[in-house]
Amino acid sequence: MEIHELEGLAHAVADGRMSPEELVHQVRVDAVTDLEYACVDNQRGVRTGVSEVIYGAGKTPEQIAGIVSAMLAVGQERVLITRLDAQKAERLRGLGCGFSYHQGARAGVVGELPEPNGNGEVLIITAGTSDIPVAEEAALTARFLGNRVRVVHDAGVAGIHRLLSHGEDISGAQVIIAIAGMEGALPSVVAGLASCPVIAVPTSVGYGANLGGVTALLAMVNSCASGVSVVNIDNGFGAAYQASLINHLSSGEA
């Protein structure tokens, strides 16, 4: 259940189509679905504005199908399954679970993506082509969460003119996700050009001293540019979730 669904139930009470007792019962009953191997949090959307997302790695197709079924049973309109490889996706489809598979993002979506309702645009910039898989995860997640997204690829600092040619995109963004491996310099440069928050995503792309993304992570954490926050290595989902929260913030004005 998400916030708009709870609002619908509240209107039903106000209109006399549902009693207050029925509302309380429905909310209580739907709070958790215990599947033994998973305890599905049906009220996360009410508390946080975003319903539970399934992390596909480490779960069997049968477990994923069961969790999806439990979510749909309580009225969740759409479900995002992250870190879902192609082989597991095929097995999941064979179990009768209906979803669209986004191979580049390594993710599945049950239901339709929503219309964007954020305040502005989420701009995703990658340093190199090798960072695209992380960017694909970020872009799909951001769109799943109701954001308008623009993606710019291969604009790393090794050819700074490539980045500077996107100055208009940078200045017009509400929030920017900057994705880079190697030495992880891109977010610092982007933050020096942008007037909005920049979320840095280190990737595991690079030669030996990149240390699987640790070098980029430490570089981003130590950024001298203001306004840079950092998520974990290869965590396009986490970056997009944070970007969506920023893009949906209310101004507080009447």
Spell out the domain ranges in the chain. Answer: 3-110, 121-247
Say what the pLDDT of residue 27 is. 61
Say whether pTM exceeds 0.95.
no
Residue with tokens 């039903």: 12
Q: How far is CA 187 from CA 20, 93, 174, 194, 227, in A?
A: 50, 38, 15, 10, 10
State how far the Cα of 59 lies from the Cα of 108, in Å rounded to an integer: 14
Range 121-247 has CATH code 3.40.50.1970:
yes
Nearest one of 172, 104, 167 to 141, comparing CA atoms? 104
Task: Give me the helices (H) in the chain, please.
Answer: 3-14, 20-29, 44-48, 61-73, 86-94, 132-144, 160-164, 167-172, 186-191, 214-221, 236-247
Say what the pLDDT of residue 251 is. 58
CB 83 within 8 A of CB 57: yes
CB 205 within 8 A of CB 217: no
Say what the pLDDT of residue 16 is. 81
Residue with tokens 């598979």: 101
Q: How far is CA 96 from CA 71, 82, 99, 247, in A?
A: 15, 18, 9, 35
Per-residue pLDDT of the chain (254 residues; tens, 9 = 90+): 455 566 666 777 787 887 877 766 666 556 778 788 888 887 787 777 788 899 999 999 999 999 999 989 888 889 999 999 999 999 999 999 999 999 999 999 999 999 999 999 999 999 999 999 999 999 999 999 999 999 999 999 888 999 999 999 999 999 999 999 999 999 999 999 999 999 999 999 999 999 999 999 999 999 999 989 999 999 999 999 999 999 999 855 54
DSSP three-state, residue 40: strand
Element (H, E) at 34: strand 32-34
State how far the Cα of 71 lies from the Cα of 33, in Å rounded to an integer: 8
CB 115 within 8 A of CB 214: no
Distance of CA 122 to the CA centre of its chain: 11
Say what the pLDDT of residue 23 is. 64
